[in-house]
Chain A
Amino acid sequence: MAMTRTIRLVIESRAECIELLSGAVSGLCGLTALPADEIARIELAVVEAVNNAVEHAYHSEPGHMVVVEFRLMPDAFSLLVRDRGDPMDPDKLTASAEAVKLDRADPETWALRGRGLSIIKSCMDSVEYEVGDGENTLTMRRRLGGSRPD
């Protein structure tokens, strides 16, 4: 069985700390053969997931932990974002599959928010959300090598 190597990164639930995770994940992805533009997309997916944990699970309240686990395998890696705040409605992950239509002439379509999950899904091969034992886990997977389906 191929060896999985794992590292856990922990930040406090403060927006100012998210950049630290962002930089660390970018560096970890640099261990793979992914090109820079793909690494930037993975960094973006992690930032969106951690933003959601800080803003929605913990309601921007500092003093809680957000854990990011990076599991590197020879042909893939996983990124798990864990929090112990309020869980997300799992249906949101399905609903975000459809991109929002924007119209310059229609102010009703100029949504300020609600793009994070669709960004995450478009940047990763698979995304799952699990709630259990007071912990919420968003698991994002990405294959290494070969081309990604559109």
Chain B
Amino acid sequence: MVVTHRTVDGIDLIALSGRLMMADVPQVRQRLLEVVEKGGGRLVLDLAEVGFMDSSGLSVLVSVFKAARLKGGDVVLLRPNPTVRSLIELTRLQQIFSIFDEEAQALARWR
């Protein structure tokens, strides 16, 4: 799993690429929590290139959400593919995550 990070106007944009499964979880969780710790806790997670995710991957999203909310921030999701979106909806995680199709819409969450 490849994790790419950039910042736009103080908002952390993190793009994940690959399959997010149990074997990848420790490394990806640590990387994302570091971003929350060093930044302002406002994260856009771009999932467009995540082809597969299981419940351990969802636990990473919830961990990061918790950490961000503790800092007064939030995490939004960008462009999950239909498979990942279906998993998010199946587990009702759309009740805590806003999901956007366009980066500009996601960034506008804080503008």
Chain A residues with a Cβ under 8 A of chain B: 14-16, 18-19, 22, 37, 40-41, 43-44, 47-48, 51, 54-55, 99-104, 107, 110-113, 115-116, 118-119, 122
A19 touches B54 (CB 8 A): no
Whether the pair A110, B96 counts as a contact (CB closer than 8 A) is: yes
Interface class of chain B by DSSP? helix
Residue of A nearest to B53 (CB): A44
Contact status B82-A37, CB under 8 Å: yes
Q: Is A15 in contact with B23, judged by CB distance below 8 angstroms? A: yes
Q: Determine whether B52 belongs to the interface, using a CB cutoff of 8 Å to chain A.
A: yes
CB of B99, distance to nearest CB on chain A (Å): 13
CB pair A18–B21 under 8 Å, yes or no, is yes
In the assembled complex, the Cα of A92 lies from the Cα of B58 at a distance in Å of: 20
The size bracket of the interface on B is 20 to 34
The smallest C-beta distance from A109 to any residue of chain B, in angstroms, reads: 8
Contact with A along B78-98 (1 / 0, CB 8 A): 000011001100111101100
- Cα distance A111–B87 in the bound complex, in angstroms: 15
Residue of A nearest to B19 (CB): A19
**Chain A contact residues: over half helix, strand or loop, or mixed?**
helix
Contact B96 A102, beta carbon cutoff 8 Å: yes
The answer on a CB contact under 8 Å between A55 and B92 is no
B4 within 8 A of A: no
Given A48-B55, A110-B66, A100 contacting B92 (CB threshold 8 A): yes
A115 to B92 CA separation, bound complex (whole angstroms): 10
B54:A51 contact, CB within 8 angstroms: yes
- Please measure, in the bound complex, the distance between the C-alpha atom of A55 and the C-alpha atom of B83, giving whole angstroms: 24
B28 on the interface (CB 8 Å rule)? no
* Alpha-carbon distance between A15 and B82 when the two chains are bound, in angstroms: 25
Given contacts A104-B95, A119-B90, contact A111 B62 (CB under 8 A): yes
Closest-by-CB residue of B relative to A40 is B83
Please report the C-alpha to C-alpha distance between residue A40 and residue B92 in the assembled complex, in whole angstroms: 18
Q: Which residues of B lie under 8 Å from residue A107 when comparing CB positions?
A: 66, 69
Residue of A nearest to B65 (CB): A110
